[in-house]
Amino acid sequence: MGLPHLFNLVKLLLSRAEASFFFPFFHFRLLCWLFRNALATLIAGETSASKPAEVKRLPGGKIKKKEKQEVVIEKIVRNKRKCITIIKGLDLFGIKLSDASKKLGKKFATGASVVKGPTDKEQIDVQGDIAYDVVEFITDTWPDVPESAITLR
């Protein structure tokens, strides 16, 4: 909202103010709120205008999206009673997947390995249904990973 738009809005309010019974109280509060918020948006607009945001573009003009830092834990059932827990996204937090798979295998006494997933990203496959226990283990072992960044599927 630019300054000329703000003054036009104030003139509009004041022109319709004669019909209002509560003009002095209501419009004074409205104008105070308007000036406070207008100044805040003008100041924020000046700071954002001084530093243009750089956007990475791919060939063809497409904008490259940043990956969300989140850990996804999935449970896949194979055969009838066998489960595999898949952990994706630990590498986004700077954790070496080979070290993480060794720790997971030792903690839960199961087989754990690093494999490439369907999107050619590496993930950890752990044998067994440990989806709910893994959340606590990850947050305790690596404090850089917040519990809010972990999702179970």
Half-sphere exposure of 1 (CA within 13 A, CB side): 14
Instruction: Specify the residue for token string 């997933």.
Output: 117
Q: Are residues 148 and 87 in the same domain?
A: yes
Q: Are residues 28 and 80 in the same domain?
A: no
* Cβ–Cβ < 8 Å for 130, 112: no
Q: Are residues 85 and 26 in the same domain?
A: no
114: β partners: 124
Residue 105 placed within a domain: yes
pLDDT in tens, the chain (153 residues): 556 666 666 666 566 555 455 556 666 676 677 777 766 666 666 544 444 556 677 787 777 767 788 999 999 999 988 999 999 999 999 999 999 999 999 999 999 999 998 888 999 999 999 998 999 999 999 999 999 999 998
Kindly report the length of the chain.
Answer: 153
Q: Are residues 87 and 133 in the same domain?
A: yes
68 backbone φψ class: left, alpha, beta (φ>0; ψ -120 to 50): beta
| Domain of residue 76, residue span | 71-152
Which backbone phi and psi does 8 adopt, to 5 degrees? -65, -40
The two beta strands, 71-78 and 150-152, are parallel
Q: How many domains does the chain have?
A: 2
Residue 57 placed within a domain: no
Q: Are residues 110 and 148 in the same domain?
A: yes
Q: Are residues 79 and 143 in the same domain?
A: yes
| Residue 65: DSSP 8-state | P
Q: Are residues 46 and 75 in the same domain?
A: no
